Structure 1
Amino acid sequence: MCAVILPPRDPAPSRLTYRMQRLWLTPLFRLAVLRGLPLAAVLAIPALWFSDADRRAEFAGQIADIRRQVETRPEFMVKLMVIEGATDPVAQDIREVLPLDFPVSSFDLDLHEMRRTAEALDAVETAELRVRPGGLLELKVVERVPAVVWRGPAGLELLDGQGNRVAPIETRGLRADLPLIAGEGAQRAVPEALALVAAAAPIEERLRGLVRVGERRWDVVLDRNQRILLPGQDAVAALERVIALDGVTDMLGRDIAVVDLRNPGRPTVRLAPDAVEEFRTMRRPRAGATRG
């Protein structure tokens, strides 16, 4: 029996083995095999479980129940709202526009939207909300301060120093301490109106109000139906000149109906009707008079 002699084994790797060995030396490939495949296997298990719609709905319900249990814990419940810095009517308006049903979870309160709602009220300038320990919702309010009474299309209204609406009023006598403004666009020029009122302090007892004309200038209305027609530019300076002249000559105490300063280079005055008639009578020749 003769023995079969096998050829010596070639120690060189096959082409496939060589390529796999080279690929294994690649860091990205080795990371994908050692980390990526186990991670993909781990993620595949919950993905398969969540692929069922009923299981997803059941899981979402459980999460919602847990969240609600946390949100409704006693330490997160708000039981009372306190309003600071607001008068009783404004506080009542705030409670009407923020109808909260206490107790309520602090997680259900949109403080940003509640602040915007409170500041939408005419009388509220700024509002600040925060939840205090002990289930207390604190609302700090800064109210608008009325500065003038505006006679507008809707009637009498209170405006603050910037022309923002504060509240309506029924009669002028309710706020006789505030200056009266009227005319189209008067509410948009409140700062200038207040400057004119301040300049008219020496004659404030005679001041009846300001009228905006053409949305560009003011008329100062005094008692005895007197008016000072101010220019569109440098109205405060023009009014101060008139008041200074009145202090020297008592001009506004005379029978003058209008002081017209619309043209600063050519100020004019208009006599009252009675004064005009008296002036004409003085110039009319007397009956029976003879020429010299």
Structure 2
Amino acid sequence: MDGRGRQFEPLKTGATGRADARARQAPGETGTGPGRRVLQRLASLTFGALPFTRYRDPARRSRPRNALERLERQLPRFVGLWLALGFFGTTAVTGLAASGQISQFFEERGRPHHIAAQIFGFGISEIAMTGLIQLREREILNAAGIDPRVALPFLNVTTARESLESLPLVRSATVRKLYPDGVVINVVEREPFALWQVDGDVYVIAMDGEVIDYFRPDPRYLPLPQVVGEGAQARLAEYFELIDAAGALSQRIRAGTLVAERRWTLKLDNGMDVRLPEDEPVEALQRLARLDAEHDLLEKDVIAIDLRMPDRVVVRLTAESWSAYEAEMRKRPLRGREVRT
């Protein structure tokens, strides 16, 4: 070592020289061949630090020796790690999407924003419904679009209300949110009052004649009275006035047909038709009730009773009853002079 801090080295190479060179190497620089240095730089880019080489000399540490080291110092820390994670994550997501598992997951659990809201406690777990008479809770939930996959913040109450009011049985509806996890639904139902058959189709109608729904084999609609014919839905009040005037016979009336929009023909439970006049049908029906009470007219083999004439009752026998009547008339002896033909 001279006075200026320089150290003299022997020019010869050998075991002693190599040992001295290794002794003077900084810790972490052992085995600094070109290949190993490249690997160290790549590892440093990946993990965002210099875990393999540490320089004691700040001047050497501040001066990049090659382009790879300059690139390493310019990029943010852990950029390589994040790029690697992003690559493998993208590959995994692409594979799941191609196999349909992501679509199936979202279909079962809901869309991502709904799932995120449910994680923070904004799922729908409390639902209060009022005004249900004919409708069922499941019909209301399906129409409003409420299910376990929906989060409360993303429930559109306007759309839900409009969907509920599109139901034939719903006159009006309101939908309100109660944070963090509640919904209140109130509906005002239309009351099904009768069944209306026209042109082969059967409809459920209200008292004012408004069509509520197509008739389905639903237990809620089966007990309803039935009217048939064009314009019959607008004359329900007149039809029910006839039923009330029938007294004990009202239990046997199954349907009323408006003929030519002028008069009613009633269908009884035994298949018998009762033809009422256009004028004063209530009085004619009361007259039938008296005849039945006195003569059990409705228990006879009759398929139709015509009450359109005020001074008489015309009946039409069944085919079997008419055949029996003709046979009985042939057996009876003729009175008076014999008629030859």
TM-score band by shorter chain is: 0.5 to 0.7
**1:272: which partner in 2?**
317
Matches within 5 A, 1:117-266: 117-130=163-176, 136-153=182-199, 155-163=201-209, 164-166=211-213, 168-170=215-217, 176-204=222-250, 206-262=252-308, 265=310
Quote the Cα distance in structure 2 between the aligned partners of 1:237 and 1:103: 62
Cα 1:126–1:234, aligned 2, differ >3 Å: closer, same or farther? Answer: farther
- Give 1:222 shift: 2.0
Pairs aligned (count): 212
**1:102: which partner in 2?**
151
Report which of the two structures shows the higher radius of gyration computed on alpha carbons. Answer: 2
Give the secondary structure class of the aligned counterpart of 2:256.
strand
Q: Name the amino acid aligned to 2:132.
A: A
Cα 1:167–1:286, aligned 2, differ >3 Å: closer, same or farther? Answer: closer
Q: Name the amino acid aligned to 1:254.
A: K
> CA-atom RMSD, angstroms?
4.2
Report if aligned partners of 2:152, 2:177 keep a CA contact under 8 Å in 1: no
Q: Name the amino acid aligned to 2:152.
A: P
**1:49: which partner in 2?**
none
Report if aligned partners of 2:135, 2:169 keep a CA contact under 8 Å in 1: no
Cα 1:97–1:240, aligned 2, differ >3 Å: closer, same or farther? Answer: same
Cα 1:237–1:127, aligned 2, differ >3 Å: closer, same or farther? Answer: farther
Per-residue CA deviations over 1:163-183 (Å, capped at 9, x if unaligned) read 342452238x88553333333
Quote the Cα distance in structure 2 between the aligned partners of 1:196 and 1:178: 16
> Normalising by structure 1, what TM-score?
0.54
- Give 1:219 shift: 0.8
Q: Name the amino acid aligned to 2:287.
A: R
Cα 1:117–1:176, aligned 2, differ >3 Å: closer, same or farther? Answer: closer
Q: Name the amino acid aligned to 2:274.
A: I
Quote the Cα distance in structure 1 between the aligned partners of 2:333 and 2:134: 73
- Give 1:220 shift: 0.7
Quote the Cα distance in structure 1 between the aligned partners of 2:197 and 2:257: 10
Give 1 or 2: higher strand fraction: 1
> Normalising by structure 2, what TM-score?
0.47
- Give 1:260 shift: 2.3
Per-residue CA deviations over 1:244-288 (Å, capped at 9, x if unaligned) read 33223433333443332345x455413314555555566668568
Give the secondary structure class of the aligned counterpart of 2:223.
coil
Identity of aligned residues (%): 25
- Give 1:213 shift: 1.8
Q: Name the amino acid aligned to 2:216.
A: I
Report if aligned partners of 2:157, 2:175 keep a CA contact under 8 Å in 1: no
Displacement over 6 Å in runs of 4+: 287-290
Q: Name the amino acid aligned to 2:207.
A: G
Give the secondary structure class of the aligned counterpart of 1:104.
helix
- Give 1:230 shift: 1.7
Quote the Cα distance in structure 1 between the aligned partners of 2:137 and 2:335: 79
- Give 1:214 shift: 1.9
Q: Which runs of 5+ in 2 are unaligned?
A: 1-121
Quote the Cα distance in structure 2 between the aligned partners of 1:88 and 1:78: 28
Quote the Cα distance in structure 2 between the aligned partners of 1:195 and 1:201: 11
Quote the Cα distance in structure 2 between the aligned partners of 1:158 and 1:243: 30
Report if aligned partners of 1:156, 1:170 keep a CA contact under 8 Å in 2: no
Q: Which runs of 5+ in 1 are unaligned?
A: 1-76
Q: Name the amino acid aligned to 1:103.
A: L
Per-residue CA deviations over 1:82-133 (Å, capped at 9, x if unaligned) read 3323369644344344336532379x744xx754542331112333445557
Quote the Cα distance in structure 1 between the aligned partners of 2:205 and 2:324: 43
Report if aligned partners of 1:228, 1:261 keep a CA contact under 8 Å in 2: yes
Cα 1:271–1:237, aligned 2, differ >3 Å: closer, same or farther? Answer: same
> Which range moves more in the overlay, 188-197 or 79-88?
79-88
Quote the Cα distance in structure 1 between the aligned partners of 2:314 and 2:171: 43
Give the secondary structure class of the aligned counterpart of 2:294.
helix
